[in-house]
A = this chain, B = another copy of it.
Amino acid sequence: MPAPHLAVIGGGQLARMMAPPAVALGIRLRLLAEAGDVSAAQVIGDHLVGDHTNLADLRDAVGDAPVVTFDHEHVPPEHLQALAAEGHACRPSPDALLFAQDKGDMRVRLSLLGIPSPVFELLSEDLADAIDDMHDFGYPAVVKTTRGGYDGKGVWVVRSADDLAEPFSVGQELMAEELVDFRRELSALVARSPSGEVRAYPVVESRQVDGVCSEVIAPAPDLDPALAAEARQIAERIATELEVTGILAVEMFETTDGRILVNELAMRPHNTGHWSIEGAETSQFENHLRAVLDLPLGPTTARQPWSVMVNVLGGAVEDLLVQRAIALAAEPGVHVHLYGKAVKPGRKVGHVTATGIDLDDTRARARRSAALLTDG
């Protein structure tokens, strides 16, 4: 009897990178893809093209799959509730996913849990009232849409009431947060299964350029062990309290005065965990599959002292396949991952990971490979 399918909603590179561990573990994936040639549809033969905001399409793709998981957080909660009511286990569940979908709800919930977070305030819908809110809140501040932002989109630094016009022009619910004076960004990933098993990955440093993740160093260099333990415990606590299933990524600030504050949550494999494919005993993609199917989780320990992941963003290189040979020739030991996407400026089209015993050397190799794939 063939294995029951695991349904995956969304055809981006995160779903694509679930395919290799599914091959190893004998897990059959069925995909709902935005189009027949999107990243994951190229490598998951059993895919259906449809719209993840359309319940009929979701039902068609899920079929009789007992478990459904996700490439992204954009499936409407009411559709997830419908699928759950029809007997499909959504992992993460709609109740958990809400806190990755809505930053306002997330902030309120984490506050109730006493998890260290930036000071925040939900803004009134009316601009004049919001200007009053901000007057009390103070400037400068960060203003964000509570929903739908990613990779720096939907985030503004406001320095006066005049700066509120642009966020308000988007027409979405907004919130204000303190402008955190941070030394760097950290990310803590955990895998959690429905049985409650939790495994935490080493805390990593994430470097952003223009709001987009550029480079990840695992583990975060020179991180105070007490802060590393706190970051890991925060991620484990959020996963457990919110009953997350699968991978939870907790993006954090390390403030200049040595504190950890939670920035964002993602409930799926995350860019800051790509290093784990080669760098950890069990990759985030394998542990995501193991977690959502309630299989025992694999060890999350690092396999090498250092792993450095650098994203390949669309740049001057037009033909990634020609450039792949040049990058492999220059750095044959750097692991190249291409997502099968057309190159567009700034678009994530791949990543590379180097592992090693010397951080400077490891980072230099990863950067050289990524630069060859980006700008030639």
Residues of chain A at the chain B interface (Cβ within 8 Å) = 2-3, 16-17, 19-26, 28, 37, 42-47, 277, 281-282, 290, 295-299, 303-304, 320-321, 324-325, 328-329, 332-333, 335-340, 350
The chain B residue sitting closest to A340, CB to CB, is B26
CB neighbours of A297 from chain B (8 A):
332
Contact between chains at A37 and B332 (CB < 8 Å) = no
Which of A24, A45, A297 has the most B CB atoms < 10 Å from its CB?
Answer: A24
A-B contact pairs, 7 of them (CB 8 A): A20-B23, A22-B43, A26-B338, A44-B45, A290-B328, A299-B332, A299-B333
The smallest C-beta distance from A299 to any residue of chain B, in angstroms, reads 5
Q: Are B24 and A328 in contact (CB under 8 A)?
A: no
How many monomers of this chain does the complex have?
2
Whole-angstrom CA separation of A269 from B3 in the bound complex = 26
B281 in contact with A333 (CB, 8 Å): yes
With beta carbons under 8 angstroms apart, the residue of B22, B321, B333 that contacts A3 is B321
Which of B19, B303, B335 is in CB contact (< 8 Å) with A43? B19
A3-B340, A28-B42 provided; 20 other pairs, C-beta below 8 A? Answer: A2-B340, A3-B321, A19-B23, A19-B43, A20-B20, A23-B43, A24-B277, A24-B335, A25-B336, A25-B338, A26-B320, A26-B340, A43-B45, A44-B45, A45-B47, A282-B332, A295-B325, A296-B325, A297-B332, A299-B332
The answer to whether B295 and A328 touch across the interface, beta carbons within 8 angstroms, is yes
**Neighbouring B residues of A295 by C-beta, 8 Å:** 324-325, 328
**Given A23-B20, A42-B28, A43-B19: A282 and B321 interface contact (C-beta under 8 Å):** no
Q: With contacts A42-B28, A44-B45 known, is A296 near B329, CB below 8 A?
A: yes
- For A17, the chain B residues whose CB sits under 8 A away are 23
CA A125 – CA B342 in complex, angstroms? 60
Q: How far is the CA of A47 from the CA of B298 in the complex (A)?
A: 32
